[in-house]
């Protein structure tokens, strides 16, 4: 299993944030988009057009049995993404 963890540590406030990708998110838990990695520009622009931008609240509503697709809620509507695209969306 490919786990991508980036630890952001702010010494003044003593906060630690763990960034995970969208495929590793737990069901029915709120996350916030922190960035994108490894996505082609065409797909990145399409995700932005669909409302998946940095700082936006995201909730994973469902995963397929073979873990090839995810159903997420963003900006009040549900969106289905392939797992290889979802790996490029980083959450905190």
| Of 70, 84, 36, 85, residue with least CA distance to 56 | 36
- Whether 1 is in a domain gets the answer no
| Span 43-54, pLDDT tens digits | 999 999 999 999
Domain of residue 12 covers 6-91
42 lies in a domain? yes
Instruction: Note whether residue 31 is domain-resident.
Output: yes
Specify if 66 maps to a domain: yes
Please state, as a whole number, how many other Cβ atoms lie within 10 Å of the Cβ of residue 85: 19
Beta strands 15-21 and 89-91, pairing class: antiparallel
pLDDT digits (tens, 9 = 90+) for 37-82: 999 999 999 999 999 999 999 999 999 988 899 999 999 999 999 9
Q: Give exposure, 6-37, as e/b (b: 16+ Cβ within 10 Å).
A: eeeeeeeeeeeeebbbbbbbeeeeebebbebe
Per-residue pLDDT at 8 exceeds 60: no
Residues β-bridged to residue 14: none
pTM: 0.76
Structural domain total, the chain: 1
């Amino acid at each position: 299993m490919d786990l991508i963890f980036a630890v952001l540590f702010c010494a003044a406030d003593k906060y630690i944030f763990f960034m995970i990708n969208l495929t590793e998110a737990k069901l029915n838990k709120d996350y916030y988009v922190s960035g994108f990695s490894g996505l082609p520009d065409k797909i990145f622009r399409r995700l932005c057009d669909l409302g998946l931008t940095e700082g936006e609240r995201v909730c994973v509503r469902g995963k397929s049995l073979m873990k090839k697709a995810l159903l997420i809620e963003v900006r009040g509507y549900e969106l289905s993404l392939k797992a290889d695209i979802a790996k490029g969306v980083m959450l905190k």
